[in-house]
Each structure stands twice: as structure tokens, then as C-alpha cells.
Chain A
Amino acid sequence: MQQGGLAVNIGRPKRIIEIEPATVPLPEPQLPMPDPGPAPVEPMPLELPVEPPGP
């Protein structure tokens, strides 16, 4: 048994399998990237309380 776009001999047929996959093994279609919207506002830097020097 030869050809079929591969040009190698795959031997004699052994059995027939009917495969109905629950999920067809195709990649998911690529969704367009969502609009990122306005740039996030930078948070104000926190002013940390300065601890008094220890004794």
C-alpha cells in the first residue's frame, strides 16, 4: 500500500476505525485583541510614616 501523498509503504490494512471525536482537533479561532481602553491612572505614591529613630 503506497502513495496517499506520503510515498512510503504502510503495509496491509488491519482494521477499520470509525472515529467521531467529541471535540474536533482543530485549533481555536484566533479572537481579535480587545480594545485596551484608556491607560490606567498611576496610583499616588504612598507616603510612609517616618519612624522616629530608636533610643
Chain B
Amino acid sequence: MKTKKPMAIGLLILGIVSILLALYLDVTNLQLSYNLTAKTSFSINGMLLIIGALLVIVGMYTFPTRKHKKIINILFLFPLLFSFAVTVLVPFGFGIFYSMTDWNGIDFNKFVGIANYVTMFKSADYLYSLLITVIFTVVNMILVNFAAFALALLCTSKVKGKSFYQAAYFLPNLIGGIVLGYVWQFIFNKVFTTVIAGSDSMLTDPNLAMVAILIVSTWQYAGYIMMIYLTGLTSVPKDVLEAANVDGANSWTTLLKIKVPMIANTFTICIFLTLVNSFKQFDLNLAITNGAPARVLGEKIIQSTEFLALNIYNTAIGKNQYALGQTKAVVFFVILAAVSLTQVSISKKREVEM
């Protein structure tokens, strides 16, 4: 106990000194680095900072005190909270602020208020993108849930090899949208045009390209949602179903009057999950069409299948309009937050009823 205290204090002091030294070097713009080999070098400033932080942590940990539990609490929370704050909270705050400036990705010159928002809602390509994203989201939600529920019913019936079917339907969901998107681009451009000889690729027509993305998205996602429905359906108590059977209900009535109402909660989860995920669709969109083909709307040429997430990406990274891209992202967030709040309030209401 007696030797512990000075040691802990020593570590703390050493750590704080090294952090302060690192910060001092940073503030005075003195970047020291050590060349390990001709090509690799590491920054002494950064090293000092990390070592200092580690020393402080060890010092705090070994510091003998009655408040040891509190210190542990802080140390346990710190790593996750720190990374969360740096990667999510701080950029989120900056993001909302930047959307009201003329930010160019590095710095900004002036505060412009809501000018970006006005520009955004006046630009035809954004409004078009918003519109098709909403259409895609709703249609995709309906398609995926229909397909998934039908598949779930199929998998609960007395089919042979159920587990094989489940695995097969689930498989597309495991592979990244980028890879699958390129595969499907091949299927639309080469395979379908061969199967229906002489036809044009679906991806060259604005409306059919949208249908193409819907097909792939349903194909990829239905298996996952099916699994959630399956979990719901198998949770319906057996005795209730038996009672219905004894009472002479046929399978349709059992489905509509017993199963569906009993898994209403599952429906809410699946519907909102597909809504949110379809709205955020990016990978497939990028890999299948990347916004193409172009469509003439009024007098303007517009990318016909550019959903919001891709539109944000292209505005900022492609056209280098960071402030405008960030503005679109903020609106994107607001819409998603509204959808999620709706879901929470619906599930809350149902809990009260139960």
C-alpha cells in the first residue's frame, strides 16, 4: 500500500507531462518524426501522446483509493465513449454546422444560414432524387415484405429440406452489395439479353433500370426478412393453433385471424427495417447503375436512378460541393429520424395495449 501510492502518482505525473509536451509540440507546430527506414517514419508527437495517455490510465488504475470503483467505471467507459465521440458525435455536430456555411471539405469562409437548403430544394436533380428514393423505398418495402412473408409461410409448411431452403434464401444477404451489384450488372447486360435474344439491356431504360434495382434489392433482402417472420411464426403457441383446428378453422382463416394478428409486432419490425434500409440503399445503386441512364426532364438532363445516398456522395465527392452535399445529408438524417420515431411510437402504443 505504501509503495503503491508514490508509484501511481509518479505514473500520473509522467503521463500528464508527456501529454502536455506532445500538445505543446503540436501547438507550436513542431512535428518531430523519427525515420525508422528510408520509407517509414513515425511521429514522435503522436507517440508521446499515446504513451502519455497510457501512463495516465495505468496510473489511475493503480492509484489506491476508496473510490477505486468510480475510477474503474470511468476507465471502462472511456475507450468506447472516446471513439464514439470522435467518429460520431463531433462530426455530427460539425456536419450540421457545415451545412450552414460555404464549407469546401477543408475549411469555410462564411456563414450562409439556410442558403444551402434553399439551393438544394430548388435544384431539380435533388427533388427528382428525393422522389425516386421515396418511390423505391415504398415499393421495395412492399415487395420485400410480401416475398419474405410468403417464403416464411413456405418454410413453416411441411416442405422437405426446409433448412436447405432457408439457407439458400438467406445466402444473398451475406454478401456485400458492391460485389452482388457487379454480378447483377453482368446478368442484366449479358445474360438477360442473351436469354431474350435481341433485347436491349434493362439498364439502358430509365424505368426498367429502376425495376432492375428493385429486383436485386428484393432478391438480396427477402431472405433476411423471411428469417424474422419465421421466428415470429414459430413463436405462435401450438395450443392456440390446435384449438383453431378443432374449431374447424381452415388454414386461411388460421393465418389471417390468428397468426397475422399475433405477430403484428414482427410486421412492425420488418416494415420499418426494410423502410430504413431501402432508404439508405447505396451499394447496389452504385454497382448496378451508378445513377445511369440519363433522363431528360423538362430541359434538364438528370441521372434517372440516383438515389439520395448516391446523390449525396456524388454531390460532395464527385462534384466537390461539400457544403451542399452535407446539407442533403442533414435532410437525409432528418427523414430517417422521423421514420424511426414513428416506429418507436407505434411499438410503444402496442406495448400499452398488450
Say if A and B assemble together.
no
